[in-house]
Amino acid sequence: LTYRLFSRYYGAPVAPRPRSESFKLLGTRGSRRETPVYPDRGRIRPRALRGAAQPAPVAGRYSSGGTVLVSQIIPAIGFGLVTSSIIALGAVGFTIQYSVSRIFNVAFGAVMTLSAYCAYLVNVHLGVNIWISLVPAALAGAVMSAAIYHGVYARFLARGTSVFTIIMVSLSVSVIVENIIQGLAGPGFLTYQVATQHPFHIGSIVWTPSQVGIMAVAVACMFAIHALLRYTLLGKAMRATAAEPDLAKSCGINCERVRFAGWAISGGLAGIAGVVLAVNNAVLVPTTGADVLLVVVAAAVVGGVGQAYGAMLGALAVGIVSELAAIVTPDLNYVAVFVLMGVILIVRPDGLWSVGALRREAAEL
């Protein structure tokens, strides 16, 4: 029984396996050290896990010896653009749902993961090209996101649950979704079928065709979101709901329906972000989405919480900062992102895309 007591917490020790970059964002650099992965990463765990006998990390850390070479900066910016594209998809999605409903949705990462697994089903089991699989993945994300909002959050909000408790709720949702994925798909890692690739060289920047594809998808999505917000009635209603829910309601906008639509759209973006993230990481594990959730949040915050254009700007900043920091400390590049986020929160809490935008918005509405 003693064994059972502990074995169920610790699980059998797992051999380190290539996880290439699911903790980082970039899959193609190849010089990153491999991080051991624990199948139960990211779940809520009982406390006994503290200090479990974990497999030792793979020996031999890469370090750049502390010298920042100028020649590394340009390629890093190249990688940073890819990272930014992925983060931008997530951050815009996250910020849209935050702006229309004020929910800090921890389950966003789980929706990303779920869509990535849907894309895996379509891509590997039905043999569909991965770029076409983006469509069902986005649909799955949209349906899931809207269902979570309508089925859970809207109900809690309607009875006046505090926004703080909603974080607990969303954490529970995230745990449920992630563990159902893990239960069905298994804790192991999966890989999409992507055609063999010859990298492009543009100056000292190296991109694989999928990375170019990722950037194209991201740019297309950003333009689509821009068009949606600027030129459609729904977009206008979303902006109104975000800015002044009460006023919007008294102007005849059905805020609840707008929120529902906003959550579906952001779920679609989460889906696309999840798939391109897994494409770029080259592996898919049940914590793929949760691992980058806080980087996505950082981008949203750096840009200004609740502002779609700010999120795009924030993603650009976060992606490039994280890759530049990776030149110095490959393991701790996210710390640089978090430091950036902390500085922004203290110095300019409304984000980079701040006061001017709000004033313009108010004038326009």
Partner 1 sequence: MSIAWQYFIVTLLVYYGVNLIAGWALNLQFGIAGVMNFAFIIYQAAGAYTAAVLTLGPVSANGGYQSYIGGLSLPWPLPILIAGVVGALFATLVGLFALLPEKRDFQAVLMLIVSLSVTLVISHQTGWFNGTAGLSAIPKPLGGVLNLGLAGYGWFYVGLTAVVVAAVYGLVHRITSAPWARRLKAMRDNPLAAAALGTDVRKERLIVSALAGGIAAVSGALLVQFISAWAPAGWGYGETFLYFTAIVVGGLGNNAGVALGTAVVYTVILEGVQYLPSLGGVSSLTASLQQAAIGVLVLLFLWLRPQGLIPERRRRLRAQSKVAAAPAIDESASAHSGPGV
Minimum Å distance from CB 69 to partner 1?
22
Nearer to partner 1, 36 or 209 (CB): 36
What's the closest the beta carbon of residue 198 comes to partner 1, in angstroms?
A: 34
Assess contact for 313 and 357: CB atoms under 8 A.
Answer: no
Q: Tell me the closest approach of the beta carbon of residue 312 to partner 1, in angstroms.
A: 12
- Contact indicator for 138, 268 with CB cutoff of 8 Å: yes
Measured between alpha carbons, how far is 137 from 95 in angstroms, rounded to an integer? 20
Residue closer to partner 1 (CB basis): 128 or 358: 358
Is residue 49 helix, strand or coil?
Answer: helix
- Is 75 or 350 the residue whose CB approaches partner 1 more closely? 350
Least distance to partner 1, CB of residue 62, Å: 11
Report d(CA 244, CA 63) in Å as an integer: 50
DSSP 8-class letter at 190: B
- Scanning the chain, the segments in alpha helix (DSSP H) are 2-10, 70-101, 108-120, 130-148, 154-158, 163-185, 209-231, 233-243, 245-250, 255-281, 288-303, 308-328, 333-347, 355-364
Q: 53 or 195, CB closer to partner 1?
A: 53
Q: How far apart are CA 268 and CA 147, in angstroms?
A: 12
Which residue's CB is nearer to partner 1, number 248 or number 279?
248
Distance CA 172, CA 179 (A): 11
Nearer to partner 1, 44 or 224 (CB): 44
Least distance (Å) between residue 55 CB and partner 1: 8
The CB-of-279 to partner 1 minimum distance in angstroms stands at: 25
